[in-house]
Structure 1
Amino acid sequence: MTATIHRLDAHPQPSLDPMIALVAGDMNLVNAVILDRMQSQIPLIPELAGHLIAGGGKRMRPMLTLAGAALLGYTGNRHHRLAAAVEFIHTATLLHDDVVDGSDLRRGKRTANIIWGNPASVLVGDFLFSKSFELMVEDGSLKALKILSNASAVIAEGEVNQLTATRRINLGEERYLDIIGAKTAALFAAACRIAAVVAEREEAAETALDAYGRNLGIAFQLVDDAIDYVSDADTMGKDAGDDFREGKVTLPVILAYARGDEAERTFWKDAIEGRRTSDDDLAHAIRLIRDSRAVDDTLARARHYGQRAIDALGMFASGRAKDAMVEAVEFAIARAY
């Protein structure tokens, strides 16, 4: 039998719809777990958590757990609680991120820290982290607990690494990739890997799903960082130029800075260090990034990691689940176009 070769340009208008349809029944059960476990006798907790959890996110990370289980033919129900744990970890990190970044918008809505304040956002984030660990322990698998708890620690390390790198124009591409590999890709990888754990599949399946999720996560973040310089608030669900004003050195900036002349490098240094943050400065930054083809090359790297994610699925049988997971990668890349 000839293996099916998947390439990133297979679908002219890729969508998450095949994955959403694939996991719809399971996702309803995951959502029931989420709604049940975010309840508390303290009314502020479900109110604040519900603001973000119901805020229009695609729930891509828990969907990946469910899709991975479908890919492996798993028919039990352990993956429902673990997928809910994945979503709680993600939501907790978003609550904390918005406090650290001082963000005003998340998915086009006011952030929880703007509505309820920073202390409440941090503490409810802590509550959701705790609930995620409850769900992991209830599953009873030390292996799943190790994978998800390690991912939680790596995410926190990545966020601290990013914090210490803020406003440092000489960040470099290697450290940038370390940061996004930790703060974004680690949870994608863990969400996928635990599907092989609950399905009790061999180590090779775990490794392949981990590679799929990790490379997808890196591609996803590269696209996000490119979008910050080519899109608007309605498209992004956050304020345009947030990364620029917060002094975050992302790959488009790293490339534009490396390719700039002395005057352009001086501008980037002043901008990232917080001395050039006006709308005119943002417009100038966007021009420099466009003229240096920094976004084009960032997206080329995203396509490279996306193809690596697709290639990681090569060991699995063709079918509806595999097709949906391939198209999810294509969708992640296509968001920039």
Structure 2
Amino acid sequence: MEKVNAVILDKMQSDVALIPQLASHIIAAGGKRLRPMLTLAAAQLCGYREERHVALAACVEFIHTATLLHDDVVDESDLRRGNATANAVFGNQASVLVGDFLFSRAFELMVADGSLEVLGILSRASAVIAEGEVMQLITTNDTETTEDAYLDVISSKTAALFAAAARVGGVVADAGRPEVEALDSYGRNLGVAFQLVDDALDYSAHKATLGKSIGDDFKEGKITLPVLLAFRRGAEEDRVFWRRCLEKLEQDDGDLEHALDLMARHNALTDTIERARHYGARARDALGIFSDGALKSAMIDAIDFTIERAY
């Protein structure tokens, strides 16, 4: 990861001073670097001992960071990880353009790697992420959204990059098709679990200890699984409440607290975490074809970390 961070610092430089200034604002803000770690771990799990995976892990982080910059503009977010977002500090225009710059840097790293297969995996993932964000835009404020439609959104906007990050690790290691597909499945299921937990945390008091504000999804009218479960399980008067708050965005003092009460009454948060556990188990099963060892244990630990941060 030290080598990956060195590549990130080098490639975010530009003669245009605002670019590294804004990029470093979001990159230095922290984050788990979970996606690039998947690339490193997957490659080494398959016996890779060279250096190609380092630049590709940095590429994965650039794709992720670019999407965060764009997402914060779309969501009009002011905070990320307890700090002011780049758009709050530098403005929407600069955030969008620096996001474009980081996407371009990611593609430079892909091209420099020289593998058309790697280029295909990561470029396709970038397109799928964008599709997922547009799908989320369509489902926002729509309480008729189905659970399947919600899963399609998170599979695209979150799980696709997890899957690609793990898959390219196997590809650079020249692993066999069963191993590469297993890594893809591991990453995809881990990504779904990760987003499910994130969506539960948005309505959890525990989120405050993670440096995040509570109820951002509620204020924006996002339709996530905790909302879907509470909406479907509630009485008609409850559905009237959800429609007012999320479809019309007519929110009064105390509405968030009432939403939390409804979720508690209908076990919406605990059941969302249980769904995450299910996908975590699928991710664990995908690693079954690999021999036991420190790297496999670390990748299993990543599943546990993803789900246990809800507590």
Superposition TM-score, scaled by structure 1 size? 0.91
> For the residues of structure 1 that align with 2:259 and 2:248, how far apart are their CA atoms?
13
Please give the alpha-carbon distance, in whole angstroms, between the structure 2 residues aligned to 1:78 and 1:220: 27
Note if contact 2:143-2:223 (Cα within 8 Å) is conserved in structure 1: yes
Across the aligned residues of Structure 1 and Structure 2, the Cα RMSD in angstroms comes to: 0.9
- Contact in 1 for aligned 2:131/2:156 (Cα 8 Å): yes
Equivalent in 185, 203, 219 of residue 245 of structure 1:
219
Structure 2, gaps ≥5 residues long: none
Q: How does 1:54-133 map to 2 (within 5 A)?
A: 54-133=28-107
Query: What per-residue deviation string (whole Å, max 9, x for no partner) do you get for residues 129-170 of structure 1?
Result: 000000000000100000000000000000000011110011
SS state at 1:300 partner: helix
Q: Output the CA distance in 2 between the equivalents of 1:238 and 1:276.
A: 23
* Equivalent residue runs for 1:21-60 within 5 Å: 27-60=1-34
Percent of aligned positions with the same letter in both sequences?
Answer: 63
User: Match of 2:274?
Assistant: 300
TM-score by length of 2: 0.98
Letter of the 2:239 counterpart = R
CA deviation after TM superposition for structure 1 residue 70, in Å: 1.7
Partner of 1:150: 124
Q: Of the two structures, which has the highest relative contact order with CA contacts closer than 8 Å and spacing of 6 or more? A: 1
Q: Is the 8 A contact 2:221 2:249 kept in 1?
A: no
Which residue in the other structure is 1:283 paired with?
Answer: 257
Offset from partner CA, 1:167-197 (integer Å, 9 cap, x none): 0011110000000000000000000000111
1:274 deviates by 3.6
Q: Which letter maps to 1:60?
A: L
Matched with 1:7 is: none
Q: After TM superposition, which residue ranges in structure 1, 4 or more long, deviate above 6 angstroms?
A: none
Pairing partner for 1:180 from 141, 154, 157: 154
Which residue identity is paired with 1:160? V
Q: Which runs of 5+ in 1 are unaligned?
A: 1-26
Residue of structure 2 in register with 1:264 after alignment: 238
C-alpha distance in 1 between matches for 2:283 and 2:207: 29
AA matched with 1:48: L
2:142–2:223 contact (8 Å) kept in structure 1: yes
3-state SS in 2 of match to 1:249: coil
Partner of 2:306: 332
What is the count of residue pairs matched by the alignment?
311
Residue 274 of structure 2 corresponds to residue 310 of structure 1:
no
Letter in 1 for 2:220: E
Distance 1:243 1:334 in 2: 21
Residue matched to 1:235? 209
